[in-house]
């Protein structure tokens, strides 16, 4: 015979399940998601080690974790990078592409910068989830020690992503004296492949990309900061872009990201993809 305590517990469990079922649509509405029960997250296509349609990546895992924390099903929107970040935000977060596409509830890997956010007031740039630095990956047999860019003025070639920040910086440095030793690639993935083949001695780019693309076995290679002079952005903090008129979703994402950073979950995701994790810095902290 079933005891009254067991019966009460089962009734309570049933009541909780019923209430949860009734509240889920309301929760989705409160979070201002486009479709009830679904979190649509935009991530860049062909952007290893962050987001790749075949192998996934850091941002894909973060998107999955955010959806799970909010109790929603994940729907990934694979974004094509436009000429400027402002264009990407317009196409995937607050308006949509003129060719037609469904906007996302949020987009990952956006620069959290209050000055930049003033130029795109239709969105809020929030919840930085890691700190990124511009660094150099090198073949340690070819260049045992690297403190500055001097080797690339002489007999060593350095790879960069064409049109990227490293490309712009190096091409303009010292009136273009390095031009003959700068080799351009479509992306950092191709540049790292060239490094492994011995076609270049080093690659300059974001630390996380370089480490993740080198993979688990980094023997014979080193990724480190070097002395750099001139106008170069060497530190930034990627985070989340949400349309500005979604305050509940904005707050929920902030809390979810903060929780992932504090619990170590974010660091675990980066480690899974063979990259060191640098937690985001508080406002005002030295770079």
Confidence grade of residue 162 (pLDDT, cut at 50, 70, 90): very high
Q: Domains in the chain and their CATH numbers?
A: 15-131+237-272 (3.40.190.10), 133-235 (3.40.190.10)
In which band, very low, low, confident or very high, does the pLDDT at 232 lie, cut at 50, 70 and 90? Answer: confident
Contact assessment for residue 150 and residue 126, using Cβ atoms and an 8 Å cutoff:
no
Which pLDDT does position 22 carry in this prediction?
40
Question: Is it the case that residue 74 has pLDDT exceeding 70?
Answer: yes
| 19 pLDDT above the threshold of 50 | no
Query: What pLDDT score was predicted for residue 108?
Result: 99
The region of weakest confidence among 13-27, 115-129, 163-177, 209-223 is 13-27
Question: Helix H segments across the chain?
Answer: 4-30, 58-69, 85-89, 114-117, 165-172, 188-197, 207-214, 247-263, 265-272
Give helix 58-69 / helix 247-263 axis angle, nearest 10°.
Answer: 110
Q: For all residues of the chain together, what is the average pLDDT? A: 88
For residue 258, what are the contacts with CB-CB under 8 A and spacing of at least 6? 127
Q: What is the CA radius of gyration of the chain?
A: 22
Whole-structure pTM value: 0.86
Is the backbone peptide bond immediately before 49 cis, with ω within 30 degrees of 0?
yes
pLDDT exceeds cutoff 70 at 213: yes
Tell whether the model's pLDDT for residue 184 goes beyond 70: yes
pLDDT at 269 over 70: yes
Query: In the prediction, which pLDDT does 282 show?
Result: 67
Phi-psi map region of 124: left, alpha, beta (phi>0 left; psi -120 to 50 alpha): beta
pLDDT of amino acid 236:
95
pLDDT at position 2, please?
A: 42
Q: What is the pLDDT of residues 92-140, one digit of tens each?
A: 999 988 777 889 999 999 999 999 999 999 999 999 999 999 999 999 9
| pLDDT number for residue 240 | 98
Of 231 and 248, more confident: 248
């Amino acid at each position: 015979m079933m005891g009254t305590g067991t019966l009460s517990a089962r009734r309570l469990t049933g009541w909780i399940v019923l209430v949860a079922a009734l509240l889920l649509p309301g929760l989705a509405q409160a979070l201002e998601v486009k479709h009830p029960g679904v979190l649509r997250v935009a991530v860049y296509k062909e952007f290893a080690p962050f987001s790749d349609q075949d192998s996934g990546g850091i941002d894909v895992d973060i998107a999955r974790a955010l959806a799970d924390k909010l109790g929603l099903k994940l729907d990934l929107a694979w974004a094509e990078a436009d000429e400027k970040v402002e264009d990407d935000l317009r196409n995937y977060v607050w308006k949509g592409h003129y060719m037609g596409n469904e906007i996302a509830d949020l987009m990952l890997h956006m620069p959290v910068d209050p000055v930049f956010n003033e130029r795109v007031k239709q969105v809020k740039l929030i919840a930085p989830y890691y700190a990124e630095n511009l660094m150099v990956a090198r073949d340690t047999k070819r260049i045992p020690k690297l403190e500055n860019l001097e080797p690339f003025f002489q007999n060593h070639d350095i790879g960069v992503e064409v049109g990227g920040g490293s490309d712009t910086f190096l091409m303009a440095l010292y009136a273009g004296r390095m031009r003959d030793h700068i080799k351009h690639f479509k992306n950092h993935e191709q540049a790292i492949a060239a490094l492994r083949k011995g076609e270049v001695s080093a690659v300059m780019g974001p630390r996380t990309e370089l480490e993740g693309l080198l993979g688990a076995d980094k023997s014979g290679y080193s990724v480190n900061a070097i002395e750099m002079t001139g106008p170069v952005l060497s530190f930034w903090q990627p985070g989340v872009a949400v349309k500005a008129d979604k305050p509940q979703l904005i707050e929920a994402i902030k809390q979810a990201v903060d929780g992932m950073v504090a619990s170590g979950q974010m660091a675990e995701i980066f480690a899974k993809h063979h990259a060191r994790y640098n937690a985001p810095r508080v406002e005002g902290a030295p770079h």
